[in-house]
Amino acid sequence: MKPVIQTKLPNIGTTIFTVMSALAAEYQAINLGQGFPDFMMNEELVALVNTAMQKGHNQYAHMNGLALLRERLAEKIERLYAARVNGESEITITPGGTYAIYTALTTVLQPGDEVIVFEPAYDSYIPNIEINGAVPVLIPLIYPGYAIDWNLVKQKVSAKTKMIMLNSPHNPTGSILGADDMEQLRSIVKGTGIFILSDEVYEHLIFDNKRHESILRYPDLLERSFVCFSFGKTYHCTGWKMGYCVAPAAMMKEFRKVHQFNCFSCNTPLQFALADYIQQKEPYQQLGTQLQQKRDYFQQLMGQTKFKALPSYGSYFQLYSYEGITEEREKDFATRLTKEYGVATIPVSAFYADGKEDKVLRFCFVKKEATLEAAVNRLIKL
């Protein structure tokens, strides 16, 4: 008799990003689906990694992350958000933001706990909850602006609610939370035992002079929160898979118990390089302006097509409605665009547990201008 795996994720297949990227490669399509730049990252940061390796920084770093990097992250957080965070006890370096999210959920959740998730949601959230035996409570964002219905949140909060998950700037929609959203959240969790998990991997990718309403700005929210970040999104090095989590010391102590028996330690030379490079404020201060120019340029180009842009105030992405072009389902249309027109996108229905359809596709605009131009030249033929 052979051993049989009883799957912990019976409703989960291969992630849509892998599926669409494979399809793009098969049909030699321009990949505006998966969220990564196609241009070079900063040469100075690359050189710093090389220097760190040559200096011999190639063995295990501290389990919690390089102390110097955590110290400089704490300085950056105070500078940006006026929040006093202890780098020694309240910051842990992780192999990517998604890992930080999974570890935070695993730290807190017990079987039967409920977690409020807003849809469309980044595709790791629900599997991360379910694999811990907890239950996602799904609340749809209000189309087309993808705002939170806080009255519905109040209705969904129960004695079983263990956590509320937030994501701003939001993947896949590009929407952001405003100050009023934070006040609504504060009123809902006040006096409760509810945790917050805030996915802020796109913290610097915010447009139109908007302010990033980080949980770190709100001491009463931070005291119950795990806040997750990504170096990959900030410095155009998504393949590095480097991120970090910020949480109060008592919560971080439990986070590290899980972390130590999973990853244990992250890439050492990258941490030395980031610790040096993070002192330069200019790269992340200018990031929003630089990527807004890409968003605006892509939107200008897309004006020649039949697609209609939905607002994007942050992230790598903008959603485009294809209502009026075809009645096809989102995945079918995205597949046909890849095969017949040579442009890969992501159907937003993939970010809903029930496959809800708004007739919108997600486009990644963080590409070279020539890439965006070539893609739109193909889409014009629709």
Q: How far is CA 364 from CA 179, 310, 337, 367, in A?
A: 27, 13, 15, 8
Pull the structure tokens for residue 259: 């972390």
CA pair distance 23, 41, nearest whole angstrom = 26
- What is the predicted pLDDT for the residue at 284? 84
19: phi > 0 → left, psi -120 to 50 → alpha, else beta; which?
Answer: alpha
Query: What is the Cα 55 distance to its own chain's centre?
Result: 33
Q: Does pLDDT of 288 surpass 90?
A: yes
User: Please, which pLDDT band fits residue 11 given cuts at 50, 70 and 90?
Assistant: confident
Q: Which amino acid is at 114?
A: E
User: Please, which pLDDT band fits residue 281 given cuts at 50, 70 and 90?
Assistant: confident
Q: What SS3 string covers the chain? A: CCCCCCCCCCCCCCCHHHHHHHHHHHCCCEECCCCCCCCCCCHHHHHHHHHHHHCCCCCCCCCCCCHHHHHHHHHHHHHHHCCCCCHHHHEEEECCHHHHHHHHHHHHCCCCCEEEEEECCCCCHHHHHHCCCCEEEEEECECCCCECCHHHHHHHCCCCEEEEEEECCCCCCCCCCCHHHHHHHHHHHCCCCCEEEEECCCCCCECCCCCCCCHHHCHHHHCCEEEEEEHHHHCCCHHHCCEEEECCHHHHHHHHHHHHCCCCCCCHHHHHHHHHHCCCCHHHHCHHHHHHHHHHHHHHHHCCCCCEECCCCECCEEEEECCCCCCCCHHHHHHHHHHHHCEECEEHHHHCCCCCCCCEEEEECCCCHHHHHHHHHHHCCC
Pull the structure tokens for residue 326: 């075809």
Q: Does pLDDT of 368 surpass 90?
A: yes
Q: Does pLDDT of 301 surpass 90?
A: yes
Report the chain's mean pLDDT, rounded to a whole number.
97
Tokens 């990252």, residue? 41
Three-point CA angle 6, 259, 264, nearest 5°: 110
**Residues 113-130: tens digit of each pLDDT:** 999 999 999 999 999 999
Using a pLDDT cut of 90, give the percent of the chain over it: 96
Rounded mean pLDDT of 15-19? 91
**Domains, in order of start, for the chain:** 16-41+285-379 (3.90.1150.10), 43-283 (3.40.640.10)
Q: Does pLDDT of 337 surpass 90?
A: yes
- What is the predicted pLDDT for the residue at 285? 85
Rounded mean pLDDT of 224-236? 97
**Residues 28-85: tens digit of each pLDDT:** 999 999 899 999 999 999 999 999 999 999 999 999 999 999 999 999 999 999 999 9
Tokens 């605009």, residue? 365
Dihedral of alpha carbons 315, 317, 320, 326, sign: negative
Pull the structure tokens for residue 271: 């941490």
Task: Tell me which residue of 26, 15, 96, 30 sits closest to 365, measured CA to CA.
Answer: 30
